[in-house]
Structure 1
Amino acid sequence: MASNERRSDLLKFHRPKLRLPSGNKVELTTTLSPESKQCIKNLAGYKPPRLPLRVPKSRTAAVLVALFVGRKGDLYVLLSRRATTLRTYAGDTSLPGGKWEQGDRGVEWTARREAYEEIGLPLDRQKVPLLCILEPFLAATQVIVTPVVVLVLDNTIRPLLNSQEVTSVFSHPLASFLSDESPFPQDTETLEVRYHTYNDMKWTGLDGDFRMHRFLTGREAGGTKPIFGLTASILIRVAMVGYARDPEFKVSAPDQLSQPERIAHMLKHHPTFREAAIKEGINPDKTPDMSQLQRRRRDDRRRRKDSQVKQTKLIDPRLRVRAKL
């Protein structure tokens, strides 16, 4: 984490030097493609299902999925290359983010604070407004990670890297996380390397396989690692919500547990989560069985749908077509 002196330098750096338009709003000057416009609308309107679990804050983290509009109106996501001196995920390609700290006002603040400290992204919500907060993901480090999706409106922002945590930043087209095809020209040395691959592997303490995705960045020759693991899973989900379509590949392994099921199981059985929960006054043994809850929700949805169908049959025949619409 950045020191107090570091934070002071960043605050000084980001004091407004720009003359903002009337109403103190930064307008998007780049023309959006129709697909990008719909993607932003879909993300802005997304409401994640509530996770009916009590989670120890000390085992939570947040990452910032910072989107911006490219020259051709397409959406890109900012990614960083972690410093090789870090204790975890050294040198990996990742999203800016980190663990919850005392004083954080919520997951959005955690993600924004971390991005501010790592790459100098301003905390100003008018320059970088919130689009949505996605459902949480379970990380291999026994941390529950929540993605926070924002849109960078001010194209004059330049990265200010914390060299102790980040060595470089770059961008990647968001839509490419739904595709098996490479979004960039490949040189002759990498033509035989597939842009997207995956492996089904075991997760310690959980039943079934878990699918780990991997996407090339096009910068591997310069030492940048592919996008893989948790980062890849999060970006696939963001793209699915935004573009409202499934990828060209299967996201999950055939017997893979859902994220809520995995989180609930670990909260109830993993010693790290249990210890953290007890310290925060949470009884881990009262963690609900997510598979039962999800089956109950599916049954409720099915009953509501059947009820709606019955009601439609009772409507005057002349109005049935309108009711179906």
Structure 2
Amino acid sequence: MDSRVRRSSLLTFHRPTLQLENAPLPALKPESKQCLQNLLNYRPPKPRVKYPKSRSAAVLVALFVGRHGDLYVLLSRRASTLRTYAGDTSLPGGKWEPRDRNIEQTARREAYEEIGLPIDHRKVPLLCILEPFMAGNPGQLVVTPVVVLVLDNTIKPILNTPEVASLFSHPLASLLHSEPPFATEQEMLELKYHTYHDIDWRGKGTIRMHRFLTGREAGGTKPIFGFTAGVLIRVATIGYGKEPDFDVYAPDQPSQEERIAYELRTNSPLRAACRREGIDPDKTPEPSSLKTATRNDAPRGRRRRAIRSKL
């Protein structure tokens, strides 16, 4: 494989070709079908900030249809021996490598290496690619979520046990609600399904960190938290075309694009990576100039209504 990757190719990807009417899917609930169609129609805003490939990463949001027509997302429990985020609940993913043609391939490769999900566009077609997120320590990576649909229900997971301890699923719609989608066990009655706390971010605003129980905490599985929770809230919001029943953002929370711009201007490893790849970090837009009336990482009501009107 040719390892030479043009800068402009990193975020390019083939247009989704999935036709829900012809797909080999179980019976879908109406809201599940609408969710998949909304994700298929979604296109992220054109990026206004250039960032280095060497500090790019991707996560794969793999959805599948449950027996009652609901949509679920695959999640993994990280191995307890890992140096970072040991035991955490996460999405498959990792850093971009020069052999990856684009960020979609990064997500697919990592999912294949971690949980054995086939790199096969027929069995696991693309739904959409979201706008990038700024992930914190360690590494300060710009992470792009890639959303796919698992069509082949005969696929058996093959876990890379040094990295992944177990694999489980969670209903996607429940990331929009404060009440649990599962029966609460007696020892967990006093625990809330959804909670959040706000943290200061570089003195430039406050970031809201969300936390959802998985229903498996008694067995040692950690809640869905932080970055992973933020990505899944975003996917569910786009898909189901509605706001969660809780406040997603802190009042003064900077957008992901603002956070990326700030890190590119101030973070030494990111600045060095920019220079190595021919990007002048000092030409990165000021974060304040990226503020818009409609957040790039928040729901866009006008677009949702337009999509709905076409169906």
| TM score, norm. by length of structure 2 | 0.85
1:108-167 Cα deviation digits (max 9, x unpaired): 000000000000000010000000000111111211110000000000001000001101
1:5-59 Cα deviation digits (max 9, x unpaired): xxxxxxxxxxxxxxxxxxxxx9424100000000000000000101111111111
Confirm or deny that 1:119 pairs with 2:115: yes
Q: Does structure 1 conserve the Cα–Cα contact (< 8 Å) formed by 2:257 and 2:290?
A: no
Among 77, 80, 99, which residue is 1:84 paired with? 80
Cα separation, 2, equivalents of 1:78 and 1:272: 32
Letter in 2 for 1:84: S
Q: Return the offset for 1:297.
A: 8.7
Confirm or deny that 1:153 pairs with 2:151: yes
1:70-128 Cα deviation digits (max 9, x unpaired): 00000000000001111111110000000011111111000000000000000010000
Cα separation, 2, equivalents of 1:297 and 1:228: 25
Letter in 2 for 1:151: L
Confirm or deny that 1:239 pairs with 2:223: no
Residue of structure 2 equivalent to 1:166 = 164
Confirm or deny that 1:60 pairs with 2:56: yes
Residue of structure 2 equivalent to 1:49 = 45
Letter in 2 for 1:30: P
Residue of structure 2 equivalent to 1:4 = none
Residue of structure 1 equivalent to 2:175 = 177
Q: Does structure 2 conserve the Cα–Cα contact (< 8 Å) formed by 1:86 and 1:165?
A: yes
- Aligned residue pairs, count: 273
Letter in 1 for 2:165: T
Q: Which has the larger radius of gyration?
A: 1
Cα separation, 1, equivalents of 2:124 and 2:274: 34
Residue of structure 2 equivalent to 1:202 = 200
Q: Return the offset for 1:291.
A: 3.0
Letter in 2 for 1:240: T
Among 264, 274, 278, which residue is 1:277 paired with? 274
Residue of structure 1 equivalent to 2:307 = none
SS at match of 1:189: helix
Q: Kindly indicate which of the two structures has a greater share of residues assigned to helix.
A: 1
Q: Return the offset for 1:276.
A: 1.2
1:250-286 Cα deviation digits (max 9, x unpaired): 0011111011111101111111211111121211000
Over the aligned positions, Cα root-mean-square deviation in angstroms equals: 1.6
Cα separation, 1, equivalents of 2:294 and 2:193: 37
Cα separation, 1, equivalents of 2:282 and 2:294: 22
More off after superposition, 46-55 vs 149-158: 46-55
Letter in 2 for 1:154: D
Cα separation, 1, equivalents of 2:279 and 2:94: 23
Q: Does structure 2 conserve the Cα–Cα contact (< 8 Å) formed by 1:206 and 1:262?
A: no
SS at match of 1:43: helix
Structure 1 gaps of 5+ residues are: 1-25, 299-304, 306-325
Matches within 5 A, 1:67-106: 67-106=63-102
Q: Return the offset for 1:241.
A: 0.2
Residue of structure 2 equivalent to 1:32 = 28
Runs of 4+ displaced beyond 2 Å? 26-29, 293-298
Q: Does structure 1 conserve the Cα–Cα contact (< 8 Å) formed by 2:92 and 2:107?
A: yes
Among 207, 218, 235, which residue is 1:221 paired with? 218
Cα separation, 2, equivalents of 1:113 and 1:194: 36
Confirm or deny that 1:265 pairs with 2:262: yes
SS at match of 2:64: strand
More off after superposition, 251-260 vs 284-293: 284-293
SS at match of 1:122: coil
Letter in 2 for 1:170: F
Letter in 2 for 1:82: R
Cα separation, 2, equivalents of 1:71 and 1:39: 17
Cα separation, 2, equivalents of 1:268 and 1:90: 30
Residue of structure 2 equivalent to 1:22 = none
Residue of structure 2 equivalent to 1:17 = none
Letter in 1 for 2:288: S
More off after superposition, 265-274 vs 245-254: 265-274
Aligned identity (percent) is: 66
